[in-house]
């Protein structure tokens, strides 16, 4: 179940992304937000801390929380966000087509060069083509490891795998390690992404639960002409 601070953070993030609060302007003060959401000041502060970490706002002492300028359709490669969540939050009006949904007794061949340590792992292989504005933009190839994911319905892949894992199975998705490269792709991927060349951007990810259990391997192929890597980083002060 989501906390009140999470709900407030999501609502504010949605308003920022839809420019109800525009870049260069300040969002309502902590006192105003406390009254607006009927919550404590501490809860509001926790929500604002989430927005700060995401790079949506910058707190300025004595003034408030300034909305930062963001690219509306930038994919957050460094975060862990499902395509369904992006589609909703960014209002992309995107479509997902399931190309493959099958249980496997070992890791499919296409994953081996990137995840050889899981070559004998059982799992569920899912391939989904992401279509944005009537053009195929991304091919997501996922391998859900068993264990910890013993079974998953196809309907979850059609909607949101992460929503199913978190809401139905009660799992807590925590972090990922990602490697971004430009790679040659076969004729099959070229046709799916409608490429006129053999190069695509590949994001290879190992995804983990809160208890550090690896649960998913992902190969995400992007059209180079549509791919844009935008990250946000905050300096962490470490005492030496």
Write down the domain spans for the chain. Answer: 4-67, 83-222
Please say if the pLDDT value at position 183 is more than 90: yes
Prediction pTM value: 0.67
What's the whole-number mean pLDDT along residues 211-218? Answer: 94
Name the phi and psi angles at 174, rounded to 5.
Answer: -120, -55
* CA–CA gap between residue 116 and residue 139 (Å, rounded): 21
* CA–CA gap between residue 81 and residue 3 (Å, rounded): 18
Least confident of 39-53, 136-150, 226-240: 226-240
- CATH superfamily to which 83-222 belongs: Chorismate lyase-like (3.40.1410.10)
Please say if the pLDDT value at position 132 is more than 50: yes
Instruction: For the domain covering 4-67, report its CATH number.
Output: 1.10.10.10
Closest CA to 57 of 45, 68, 46: 68
pLDDT tens for residues 88-116?
544 446 788 999 999 999 999 999 999 99
**What's the chain's average pLDDT?**
86
pLDDT tens for residues 142-175?
999 999 999 999 999 988 899 899 999 999 988 8
* CA–CA gap between residue 109 and residue 95 (Å, rounded): 27
Please say if the pLDDT value at position 76 is more than 60: no
């Amino acid at each position: 179940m989501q906390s009140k601070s999470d709900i407030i953070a999501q609502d504010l993030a949605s308003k920022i992304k839809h420019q109800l609060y525009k870049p260069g302007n300040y969002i309502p003060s902590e006192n105003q937000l406390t009254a607006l959401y009927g919550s404590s000041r501490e809860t509001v502060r926790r929500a604002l801390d989430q927005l700060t970490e995401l790079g949506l706002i910058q707190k300025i002492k004595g003034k408030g929380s300034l909305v930062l300028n963001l690219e509306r359709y930038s994919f957050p490669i460094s975060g862990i966000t499902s395509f369904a969540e992006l589609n909703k939050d960014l209002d992309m009006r995107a479509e997902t087509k399931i190309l493959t949904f099958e249980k496997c007794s070992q890791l499919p061949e296409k994953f081996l060069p990137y995840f050889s340590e899981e070559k004998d792992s059982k799992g569920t292989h899912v391939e989904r083509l992401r279509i944005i504005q009537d053009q195929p933009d991304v091919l997501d190839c996922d391998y859900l490891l068993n264990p910890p994911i013993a079974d998953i319905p196809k309907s979850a892949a059609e909607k949101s795998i992460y929503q199913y894992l978190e809401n139905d199975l009660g799992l807590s998705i925590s972090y990922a390690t990602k490697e971004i490269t430009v790679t040659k792709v076969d004729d099959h991927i070229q046709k799916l992404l409608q490429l006129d060349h053999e190069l695509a951007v590949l994001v290879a990810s190992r995804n983990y639960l809160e208890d550090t259990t690896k649960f998913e391997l992902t190969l995400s192929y992007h059209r180079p002409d549509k791919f844009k890597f935008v990250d946000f980083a905050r300096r962490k002060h470490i005492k030496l």
